[in-house]
Chains A and B, each alone.
Chain A
Amino acid sequence: MNSQDQENRLPRRRVLQWFAAVAAAEGMALPSTLGQEAKPAANGYGQDPVMAKSYEKGEAWPLTMTETEKKATVALADMIFPADDLGPAASEVRVADFIDEWISAPYPRQKGDRGAIVPGLKKLDEECQNNFGKNFADLSEEEKKKACDIMAKGNHFFNVFVNLASGAYYSDPRCWKALGYEGNAPYGGPFKGPPEEVLKQAGVEQTVD
């Protein structure tokens, strides 16, 4: 399938309308028309965590993602990080669970991201219903691509989502190879500087021992 075909599936005018609507939805609390109502996030910081204890899911603060939000998150994260030669799919390393933890947390930065993610997911499903009669998670691969292409043109929700998904994805050791992180391994002695091939490519010489 070429990109011309994809372009034809969705009339250009609708694409632009959608683009404008998604951009306008940033930070807006929209009335619920789809799926469950978003749950309220935790209030206050509470006590410091007990470092010697391993916490159950949702124990530090209640997890707030609804089923519908979670489905859209899993599907969108897999579009951003599909399984390929560079590493596993986002769903394999549970990126959606990380995002759920993150946006449910009671801290200012996380609350800010929640303000982009929750209405953004809702808007995404609404637009998919309007255009395809299905939620994002239920779209075909091609339809998902169409939706992502539109959001990738410039959309606050999408940028925030990519940032959180990247943080989650690359923090899993199974994804370090995709990034080129090879650390966290003893050198078996002092650090001797970067390998020769690295110095060569960067066009520098090592001048200290």
Chain B
Amino acid sequence: MIGGRRDMPLNRDSTGRFLPWLIAVMVYLASLATMGALTMTKIANEWQSSLTGQLTVQVPVSMPAVESRDAAEDEQVQILLALLKGTPGVESAILMPLDEINQLLEPWLGVVDASASLPLPRLISVTVSPDAPFDMAGLREELQSAVPGTTVDDHQQWLNGLLDLAGLIKLVALLVVVLVGLSAVIMVVFVTRMGLAVHRQIIELLHLIGAHDAYVARQFQWHALKLGLRGGLIGLLCAGATLFLADHFVSRLQASLLPDLALTPLDWLLLVAVPLIAALITLITARITVLQSLARLL
């Protein structure tokens, strides 16, 4: 048994019996919240890295008859492409083929030659060197004066919205972890105080024989650690099972929007750390509670 002496029969206390289950629930919640935050970070990073340096230039749609349209647009596209390629910092500027646009629209419109029947804008995909300083506003102005109506989308607005959402989710996850930790502390304080009250006579005797408060605290803290570890293990197993299931479903989705969400070894390490940290919190809380309560006794 950890801690050696058991001068107080703490493991017979009914108050301590439900503590592992509460800790288990808390560890479970904290683990999932942590993993949620980690996943959100991964998704946000993925989006950010795949979208920075990417611009989409949209050639305005001219509305006259379909035959003359292509010619006019081709000309505009050539002007814009030339301009873009001459801009310092631009690595490549490629006109998106109509096939590709059709493909993008397929989920919404079905397999049709959309470009033939719809006035779709032409899109130029631009890659900007990540190192070179780049004058976004200047480029936008230049393109618009060359071909009025041209728009440049650097995806920042969309990305910022997503990043904000990701940030919010992370914040909520952090809040969950903090609240769960706080409740764990309150629970342990409560259970420890109950223990002190139940074993008051024994503690008085220990004091009369010359025990320091730390001697008493040690027995409480090892007991609390044991309960914390037991609960943490249960919580960890449940969280592990949940994540395993989630992982399974995500990998079946094969959603292209989602980056690789598989848990890395580091993630698993973090997951294992959660119950250990919980047990440590239990130990420290029990110790501090005992020392403070006993100091108040005289």
Does B associate with A?
no
Interface residues of B (CB under 8 A from A): none
